Structure 1
Amino acid sequence: MTEPSPWSRDVIPHRRLCLAADMEQYSRLDTRTQSAVQTGLVRLLDEAATLAGLDRTAWVRQPQGDQEFSVLPEATPEATVLGPFVHHLTVRLGMLNARPAAPRVRLRLAIDTGVVADAALGHAGPAPVAVARYVNAPQLKAVLAALTSADLAVIVSDRLYQDVVRLGHPDLEPAQYIRAHVRVKEFGGYGWIRVPGHGPDDVRPSVEGAHGPLPSPDGPAPSRTMLSQHIHQGVAVGRDVSGGLNVGLPVIPSSVGPWRPW
């Protein structure tokens, strides 16, 4: 009996929290040091998750050299990831970088929630694609480059900011986040950046300097050709995306209310 082709199986999407952690200036390291900092990154994420009460063994992890992309299990408390996990990751990074003669590890961290499905080369869906774009946002890179004393810069999607950060959880302070209009490849959307240990006045100049001030939601109407975040079975492969992407297709803005990038 002939087995059915794997391409004919139904793709079952789920809503998941997605996270990407990327090391700064990894390519400048020699091979031996790259191996050491990869091991260190995994240990840092393991320790931060354990201290925050998260089970890292349940994360679906996709290593990518200087980056780890993870899909977290259902019912993971989003506020725990944005609050205690980020806090413990910051502390552990500081302890690691305080060791004499150790290579300094600096991270960009991106977090989003949305539709995810298993795929042949990793994961498909809007959330994996968005996280890959957020972690490479020019504003996030600019912030980490400018704040040389910082070990970690974090960006969360507008969805997470509106649904979780703004609710006023004890570990989250909405005023510490600076909004950024992220445009990377076909992707366009808003994210919110914060740098643990630095206030918004430290972060804002780099965010605005990378791509200029954000357009006002009440300002002039945007052009009729805009970037859409709609994705049809896109597959995250390493740092790029292949598959049926239609991100960036022209969309016609609604005539009622301000334009929003989703």
Structure 2
Amino acid sequence: MPDDLLATTDLLWSSGLRPKGGPALGGISLGRPWAYALRGTTNGIGAPADTQRTVLLCFPFDLEDLPGGCGYRQIELAVDFDDDDVHALDLHPGPGWEDAEGGRVAVFGLGRNQLRWVFRAPAAGETLRPDGRWTQAVLQLSSPFSAVSGRLTLRGKVEHPLLSGTRAESEVHMGDEVAFHVSRADAWIGVPLARQVPQPGAWALAGFDEPTTPDGPLPPGRRRLCLAVDIEKYSARHNADMIRLQRDLLRVMRAACSRAAVDWYNCGRQAQGDGYLLVLPPDTDETRVVPHLIDGLADALASVNREQHRHAPGPSSPRTRMRTALHHGIVHEADSGYAGSAVVELFRLLDSDPLRACLANDQSTDLVIAFSDRLYQDLAIHGYEGLSPAAFEQVQVKVTAKQFTGTAWIRSHFRNPPFDDSTPSAQ
């Protein structure tokens, strides 16, 4: 086998109608992953080998021609790393990527150790060209880079003719997963590629579009700080205003992370239209990050509203107003998002009547924040980074339909900056 070839394997029929013949359809060639130990990353330019924890891995593969009028409708490459603490910082192709022929790629796994690229044909009746493809991931390792290992699998959907003269689509898969191992001795030294600029909300894809196996192992549960936000009266806005609000929300969230020195690309993110879930890295220093996140949210939201007021001055100028909740606890990265009682409780607080009423009844502020009781006791009581217990009001949250009761601490002392109506609107 050539040095650059990891494995060749047959594609087997999985399900659906299929032509007569044996179980094998065609073949796939998997190249050996290429590795680059990255310089100029968060490890520092010229960081010594025993401290570098960022690596770029490339995964090439080749689709062979299919027989008898068959064509690839979809191909999915899955990469599962053996180390649970590996996290993907960047992926290419990225979310929303489209090739020159209109084929699209769906990408899953940012912030995780399980990655998926799904290559889809441009439109009904069209198929993917059988040729070489490749994917790449920038990884944050749990320890200095000595080796990276994992498993590759490939499955897809094939369009094929039937004896009746019609065409059908059936699922195909590799026979067995293929293990890979890349050591530092095999790696080149490289520099990070320029980060892609995604469409708003595209990086929020956190889970897979399909579960792995129904009886697969429980994904790792880690204690994470979680932040959720929701825009007030979003559904009452016009379509164009909804689009602006989603853009504003993304700007506010990213600005808050920047204020708190939190790596946006290392967080779990889940967009929900008028809301957003942010799951911070497991090693987050909550005593420092939480106060700065709060200040960053308040300042960024005020900036967004000042800008909106310049475009539409006057007392009726629309404002973006938000509810926010923070909580920490065990979180699992499940097949279609983030799971765990901590996430459930977070959204109970975010959607609670006391928090909604606080924002609705106080027009002097555009932001209200609820701490879970656990977070309040851990942080606010001790006054970390300027947090003050006096700024919070204790409320009881009860959601009878969900059989949930709990305590929350609400802070609403974020005053809107005065707007000068004499300010001319932006041209």
TM-score by length of 2: 0.44
Of 165, 189, 192, the match for 2:409: 192
Change (3 A) 1:157 1:140: same
Tell me the alpha carbon deviations over residues 67-119 of structure 1, each in whole angstroms, 9 at most, x when there is no partner: 00121111112133431111121112112112322631111000000011111
Partner of 2:281, secondary structure, is: coil
Matches within 5 A, 1:104-123: 104-123=319-338
Alignment of 1:44-59 (within 5 A): 44-59=252-267
- Which of the pair is proportionally richer in strand? 2
Q: 2:368 is matched with which residue? A: 153
Partner SS for 1:170: helix
The code of the aligned residue for 2:291 comes to: G
Correspondence list, 1:34-45, <5 A? 34-45=242-253
Q: Which residues of 2 match residues 65-214 of structure 1 at below 5 A?
A: 65-99=273-307, 100=309, 101=312, 103-184=318-399, 185-197=402-414
What are the ranges of 5 or more consecutive residues in structure 1 without an aligned counterpart?
Answer: 199-262
Query: Which residue of the partner structure matches residue 7 of structure 1?
Result: 214
2:238 to 30, 48, 52: 30
Give, in angstroms, the shift of residue 181 of structure 1.
1.0
Q: RMSD across aligned C-alpha pairs, in angstroms?
A: 1.8
Q: Contact conserved, 2:246 with 2:273, CA < 8 A, in 1?
A: yes
- Report the AA paired with residue 409 of structure 2: W
Name the amino acid aligned to 1:187: F
SS in 2 for 1:154: strand
The reply to whether residue 61 of structure 1 matches residue 269 of structure 2 is yes
SS in 2 for 1:104: coil
- The aligned residue for residue 207 of structure 1 is none
Alignment partner of 1:73: what SS? coil
Are the equivalent residues in 2 in contact too, given 1:155–1:192 (CA < 8 A)? Answer: yes
* SS, match of residue 118 in structure 1: strand
CA-CA distance at 1:167 after TM superposition: 1.5
Specify the SS of the correspondent of 2:384: coil
1:43 and 1:28 map into 2 onto residues whose CA distance is: 21
Tell me which of the two structures has the higher relative contact order, counting C-alpha pairs closer than 8 angstroms and 6 or more residues apart: 1
| Separation of aligned partners in 2, 1:147 and 1:129 | 27
Give 2:160's aligned residue: none
Contiguous gaps of at least 5 residues in structure 2: 1-174, 178-210, 416-427
Q: Deviations over 1:175-216 (max 9, x none)?
A: 111111111222211111001336xxxxxxxxxxxxxxxxxx
CA distance in 2, matches of 1:27, 1:134: 20
Counterpart residue identity of residue 217, structure 2: D
- What amino acid does structure 1 have at the position aligned with 2:352? A
Cα distance between partner residues in 2 of 1:180 and 1:106 = 21
Q: Which residue of 1 aligns with 2:201?
A: none
d(CA) in 1 for partners of 2:236 and 2:390? 35
Structure-1 residue corresponding to 2:42: none
Give secondary structure in 1 for the equivalent of 2:291: helix
User: Mapping of 1:216-227 within 5 angstroms?
Assistant: none
CA separation of 1:5 and 1:23: change in aligned 2, threshold 3 A: closer
Shift in CA distance, 8/51, structure 1 to aligned 2, threshold 3 Å: same
User: Given that residues 90 and 196 in structure 1 are in contact (C-alpha distance below 8 angstroms), is that contact kept between their aligned partners in structure 2?
Assistant: no
The verdict on how the C-alpha distance between 1:179 and 1:35 changes in structure 2, with shifts beyond 3 A counting, is: same
Using the TM superposition, name which of 16-25 and 85-94 deviates more: 85-94
Single out whichever of 1-10 and 172-181 deviates more from structure 2.
Answer: 1-10
For these two proteins, the number of residue pairs brought into alignment is 198
